[in-house]
Amino acid sequence: MKPRSYLDHNATSPLRPAARAAVLAAMEAGGNASSVHAEGRAARAVIDDARQAVATGLGVRPDMVVFTSGGSEANNLALRASEPRALIVSAVEHPSVLAAARADQRFVAEIPVDGDGLVDLDRLAHMLAAAPAPVLVSVMLANNETGIVQPIKAVSDLVHAHEGFLHVDAVQAFGRLPVRFALLGADLLTLSAHKLGGPLGAGALVVNDRLKLDSLIKGGGQEYGRRAGTENTAAIAGFAAAMHDIDAKLLPNADLRDDLEKRFKAIAPDLVVFGGAAPRLVNTTCLAVPGLDAQTALMGFDLAGVAVSSGSACSSGKVARSHVLAAMGVNDELAAGAVRISLGWTTTKDDIEAAAAAWQVIVARHRARRAA
């Protein structure tokens, strides 16, 4: 049987061997990290080592790292448990940020983006001037649907000039871009293990000392009192192992992504690459052909043994219009055809060949239907 080509790393990246080994070892060892006996101390040592690994990877102190169940919880913790009097978020944030902000009485506004998906810095400046201080601004480093990279340092400079705080969702960026907490100018930063090739069920929020953070989950005093509940030692261990295992030689390069786009364009000259003129993650492309529905394209890819997705994979498997593309001003018909292809540590040239072959069939069938 021909092996499938997995090109949906922005949804979740396959578990790295080192992460799998770390998860299994921690599960076999057992122990509650809050217990004082030998088994508990061993579990605590696993978490402490993992915290150090995450901290080292970001250039921060270990006590600044709060482990969570994933990126969505970390985003909610950042927005809902922090002290600022107002919230401003970009219009292209992950749903966990947008939903958390819109449900909060402190929510002020969404920062618009231009046709390339980049935040409008002038509008942000006006919003900051009008909002009650202090304000918390949330802008993601790289978009999960389009891969567009935001000018975070410029955003940080604006926010801090108004004595505000900046939250950066770096879930998609870490491991694909250099991410150092201090260089970004962030006060809060979100990570998720399974985007790196770690296990599902682990994430982290990095917290700057200048920002007071309460706990959303009440109970014990775990995670320095900022996230109660017995830690998921196995998932945390796998998180750290995945970070250790990240190697530039194992990550996709822009040549693979660019080759894929070139092949797709040759097959369908009317292809549109969303945000193609903006800085993007080298692993991500979001594209469409006018009149070709995303659901039809996804079925074609799947039947050909190629796993891709339609925009975000965080909507219970539903294919709905992308709020990201809507914010970029993309019309409904074109947005309805958006397909996201995201490469990762397992991607090879053969996967690109398989995707191009599948695309050839999908487009040919689309042209034939329209001609009939």
What are φ and ψ of residue 170, in 5° steps? Answer: -105, 20
Backbone angles phi, psi at 230, to 5 degrees: -60, 130
Active site residue 286: no
223: which strand partners?
Answer: none
Residue 185 corresponds to which tokens in the numbers above?
Answer: 């100018």
Task: Say whether 209 sits in a helix, a strand or coil.
Answer: coil
DSSP-assigned letter for residue 140: -
- The answer to whether 252 and 282 are in contact (CB under 8 A) is yes
Q: Which of 211, 251, 267, 314 is catalytic?
A: 314
In the block, residue with structure tokens 């909507």: 315
Residue in the block written with tokens 């902000």: 101
- Residue appearing with tokens 């090739």: 197
- Is the peptide bond prior to 134 cis by the omega test (within 30 degrees of 0)? yes
Query: Which of 60, 10, 68 is closest to 194 using CA atoms?
Result: 10
The C-alpha atoms of residue 232 and residue 68 are separated, in whole angstroms, by: 9
**Paired tokens of 211:** 């920002």
The DSSP bridge partners found for residue 67 are 204
Of the candidates 163, 87, 158, 164, which has an alpha carbon nearest to the alpha carbon of residue 123? Answer: 158
108: helix, strand or coil: strand
Q: Judging by DSSP bridges, how do beta strands 188-192 and 165-169 pair with one another?
A: parallel
Amino acid at 335: A
Could you tell me if 337 and 290 are in contact, meaning their C-beta atoms sit under 8 angstroms apart? yes
- Which residues have a catalytic role annotated? 314
